[in-house]
Every structure is written in C-alpha cells, then in structure tokens.
Structure 1
C-alpha cells in the first residue's frame, strides 16, 4: 500500500510535537511508575475492576465516564469532534504471585501476571503528558474491563455505541511481550491474533463399583478417549494451511475414590483459529466426535461452545505509518509477532481501522505471560507509553490531522 508522502517528511518525524511530547512524558514517568506499583499491589479480577478505575481517577484528578460496568473512558483535547482512542486493560488473573518484590500483590491468588499494570501505567503517562500538548486530534483513553474473561469488556464497550458517539476513528493498543527484546516493538499489518472460543464437554453415564464394570458405564474411559482425539478432529477437518489448535485446560472425572466408577466427566478446552467460521466448524465436528465416542460405550456427551473474540487484524496503512514513526520514539523493530493468542482488542479492530503492537520486555530472565514470576521492569512503562503515542500520531497522520 502506498502511503501519503508526508508520512516520511516533516509532519511528525521532525516537528516540535514529538520532542515536546517526549519531554512531557519524561516528566510524568516517575509518577506513572509509582501508579503502576500501586495497581500491581492491588490487583482486581475481571468484572471487579472498579477500584483500579478509582485509582486512575485519584492519581490523574480526572473524572472518568463509567462504561461496561467496571470500565472507564476519559477524553483529552476538544470536547467534540473526531478522536483517536488508546486502550489499556484493567483486569488481573487468578494467580498467586511469586516475585517477592516489595510491591507484589497484596490480594491472595490475584496477580497482574499479563502486564496490564504496565499498560495502565503507560496510559496514565500518555494522558498526563498529553494535557500539556496541543494535540492534533482529541484523545480518548479506554480503561477496559474483562479482557481475560467472557463476556468481553471490549465487546461491551463497542456495543454501547459510545465510541461512535465520541467520534472515535481509530483505536491503538499495546501489549508487553517477554519473547521480544526490551525496547523493541512489533506492529505488523494484517492477521495478528487468533479468533477464540471455549468448548465444554459434559460426559455422563451410569456409575457403579469398580469391581463390577459390566453393571456400569466407563465414563472415565470415554472422557480420556475424547480428550485424546480432539486434535485429530482439527487435523482431519481443516486445511493444514489454516492454523488452529484445541488445547485442554481442565479434565475432571470422579471424586478420588479408586473403586468407584464415576457418573460424570468434564473437559474444558480453548479453541483458536484464523477465523470464527473455522472455530465454529471445529465446534460442530467436536460435537459429532464426542457424541459418537460416548455412544460407543453407552454414555452421553453434551458439547457447549462459547464463541469468543474474532481474529485481530491490524490496519495496513496504520501499521506502515507506525513503522515510519517508530524510530522517533526510540523503539527498535522487533521480529514479526503473530500467534494463536487472542485479545478482545479485535472487537475494536473489527469495527474501526486499528493497530495492536507488541512491546518487548524480555531478557535472559524473563518469565512467560501468566507465570506467577512475570514482572516486567519499570522501564516497560515508558516503552509502552512511547508505543501508544507513536500509534496515536500515526493515526492522526492517517486522518490528515
């Protein structure tokens, strides 16, 4: 795609706004890092994020509009007219932290193990620094609830119609990633993340004594056979060039007694693919497969499929503009980052030209996302903030602002 020539000239790459914004950003980063610590110490699970929104309000002095039950919106710049939205996710995970830092989680079995504390600290830094800038277009900050669970907070926000009422033209997102070097950023055009869904399979049959299997049904064996065959369903029903995966997160059967044949079994799995259509096809085939296996051993299998977020697709022109502006913000280009991970940011990109970039926080000691030891360094707050500002200016350029 051919971009307007001014992207590479004086519009933003060598103008006062970049230098001024970076100076303003440097001035507010210490407070943003301190807020990140406070948020990390007081994590809130999905659907209970109101205290985090209140923290943001207290530290910024801004009154946020409540949205999607426990989320918030804040507008910087002109009260009306076109705007560009920046999104940060609010929720923590049901994980017991094992970092040992003085500002680790004070809430048992709740932890910011996916970097959302960094994202929120970065959004705070961008909002605070933007208040001292003559913005080329207004900014809307999205403090989004329920990224980690269903029902999706992003879907709820889009369905309220508030982004349309606020005249949001583009949405920019940034997510930390430990597999990328610190200070690097990946912002590829096109497919970035998978469409997702969840499969829950309930198996039932007659229970009994383990010594008399001929008087009962073998629910445990049926559960095991279904679990082992799920990925064969993937291999034999989708084009091998269309990546997809079914991964089991939970298998439960029985109550722990060795001599009791259980009546119930349960499998919970995530489904990832390049489209919701492919995922729906897999769900139908899994339903047929599970029913057939169960029927063969006189059991019953019921399959429930919950459709999740669509595939995440980055706007090509925005991604190209981001790549041109990136160097002005001290961000190195990272290797392409596409995966069967999922993020409900895709609900924004489905409706509006948007980009999600991945910001490197990795080093030789970095833990994985969702690991109880995952704790990016404080410098990640500034890296994510610069990526968000870069995306904002790329979108402003696309709008001709």
Structure 2
C-alpha cells in the first residue's frame, strides 16, 4: 500500500501538471504510471477512444455480490496560482484550485490497498476527466464507458472542503450539492443614433427591464423555505456612447437543490422573456445548458449506511448543510445510486481561489476513512 509520504509526493507531482477539461493527457499518463507500480493480480485497466483521457481500474473481488464504484475527478481550472510552493503549478494560468489533485491522490491510496488486499466485492475506480466543464461524468456514461463489468451497482466520491477541519468527513442525507444550468439570452432590438431614440429599439433598456423582472422569480415565485438561485453575471451591449445598442446578451446561472426547482426557474425565465419581448416589440432568444450538472442527490439507504459507519468509526464526522456549488457527479447519481461526501482540508483559500492550499494531512486520513468504509460495506 502506498505510504503517506509517497501519497504526498504523488499529490505534489499532480499539482504541478494541472490540465483543463478533456486535455488531461499528462495527468492520465502519470496516473497510469503510478497504477503500474501496484500489484496487478486483481486489476484490469480500461481506457477508451470515446473519452480518451478517462481511466477506469477494476479490482476483481473474491466473492463479489456487487460492484462498488469510486469516482475521482482529474481536471483543473483556468486559474493562475498565487501560492509560492516548491511544487507550484508549472502550467501558467492553470491550477488545481478545486483540489482534484487531492481527490486523485486519495483514490490512488485506496486503490493501492485493494490491489494488495483483494476485496470481497468487485471495485471500479473511475478517474473522470472534465468535471469543471464539459460534463465529463455525463460524457462517460452516455458513451458507454460504465457498462458491463465496469458498471457499478453503487457509486461513491468525495469533494474536498476548505472550511472543514483536516481529515473531517462531512455528509448529509438528501442533496449535498445543487444542480446548475447556464442561461443565455440574446435581445434583438434596433440600433440607431442616440439623438433619435424614437427610430430605434434600445436593447439596453430591454435588457435592464428583463434583468429586473428575472430577479422576481426567486424573490416572488419560489417558496422561501426552498432553495433556488438565478444570477445574471454578464451583460454585454453597445459599442459607443452615442449609438443606441441594437443587441444585448445576458449570461447567467440557475441553481437548485432539486431538478424540479431548476426546471421551474427555467420555465419562469421563458415566460418572462416572452412577456418582455411582447412589451418591447423585440425578438429575444433564450437557451439553457445544464449538461450533466444535476443536483447531487445522495441515495437515502446507502447514505444512511455511510453515515452510520463514519459515526461509529475512528473518524471525525460532521453532518453538513447543502451547498449551492455544482458537481457533475449528480448526473451519475441520477443513473446509479450512491453518495458524495466532503473531506476537510482546512485551506486558507477557498475553492477555485488562486491561493487554495489544502492541508496534505487530509490525504491519508481520507484514505483510511474510505478504505474502512468500503471494507465494512463489503460485509453486508
């Protein structure tokens, strides 16, 4: 089994070679090199041209009753690292600012144990590309990578948490992460001279009205005890101060703890867009893109069992509230029952921040907790 010192060195190497979604070539190659150093007796390794940077490893069980899946994401973010470390990112403008280097290292630690100690059940470790964008989980599922002997009966995965103490496991029944959907709106007005507004149809005025009305959806249409978010984060319009803009574009995000909430907000956006278009005699196009970023809804039975083990084991466990962050593991959980949970890393910088710096002591604690849980699960 890989030692704590070895795992830290693995993590530091991964931290130096971050790659963006669907470009994880060096990362996959390094993962394969590490896995090649493990005993191969029980292992079957799978790659696929359908998703070239994905990597799956099956561990054959002694007397399998089920196949248990464990997923880790492998891509990084377009963030320029501000940490001054000896193992700082060597790829300018790209950083493991969400801690996927920690995720991968924990997975390798767990895999290394079962490569030596044959599990009772079959295990499938899924090193998934493109979590941060491009919906890698959905791509893998829809392209048939998780089929046959590589299809889990249940799926588990972690996300590191900078606000939890190092090594703490956090989880909850129900939704852990919100689902997210992009919303894009293009307003087609009529441009004209600023001195003759009556001859134009000002896309900026229409956009301003639309933004204000969209903000009433959560404020006035959503139950205050429910959770929904609609944020318009980008508005682009106009070229110069004395020309009335003929076109405007809004870009935003919708988030909800259930798919029903996301669908409801999308419907209200369409209705309001149609009303504003009629009011201002304009054409307004609206599109949504959710991809695989469904709500991460933990299976009630499997999650209750996970929490039971963590509370009984020598593990620091916390019940955590839901978060409005998104994760494409939600798509996999909509197809295969399972559980996502937090691993505390006590970082001074938050997720996606240029100074995100997780405490490496969390790695081995995470490996120990997950290894123990999987062994317990296989006795049931």
Q: Is residue 2:346 matched to residue 1:371?
A: no
* TM-score of the superposed pair, with normalisation by structure 2: 0.89
In the alignment of these two chains, the number of paired residues is: 369
* 1:394 positional shift: 4.4
Instruction: Choose which of 363, 367, 374 in structure 2 pairs with 1:385.
Output: 367
Deviation string 1:41-96 (CA, Å, 9 cap, x unpaired) is 11111121232111101122178412433211011234995321111001111112
Q: Is residue 2:287 matched to residue 1:304?
A: yes
* 1:103 positional shift: 1.6
Instruction: Choose which of 247, 255, 259 in structure 2 pairs with 1:272.
Output: 255
* Residue matched to 2:243: 260
Q: Is residue 2:340 matched to residue 1:359?
A: no
* Residue matched to 2:40: none
* TM-score of the superposed pair, with normalisation by structure 1: 0.84
Instruction: Choose which of 36, 47, 51 in structure 1 pairs with 2:11.
Output: 36
Matches within 5 A, 1:2-401: 24=1, 27-61=2-36, 64-67=45-48, 68-78=51-61, 81=64, 82-150=66-134, 152-166=135-149, 167-255=151-239, 257-308=240-291, 309-326=293-310, 330-362=314-346, 366-397=348-379, 400=380
Aligned partners of 2:63 and 2:120 also within 8 Å: no
CA distance in 2, matches of 1:79, 1:50: 33
Which shows bigger deviation, 296-305 or 323-332? 323-332
Structure 1: tracts of 5 or more residues without a match: 1-23
CA distance in 2, matches of 1:222, 1:64: 55
CA distance in 1, matches of 2:34, 2:99: 19
* 1:162 positional shift: 4.2
CA distance in 2, matches of 1:320, 1:394: 13
CA distance in 1, matches of 2:23, 2:231: 27
- Taking structure 1 as reference, are residues 254 and 106 closer, same or farther at Cα in structure 2, changes over 3 Å only? farther
Structure 2: tracts of 5 or more residues without a match: 38-43
CA distance in 2, matches of 1:262, 1:393: 63
CA distance in 1, matches of 2:246, 2:366: 50
* 1:388 positional shift: 2.9
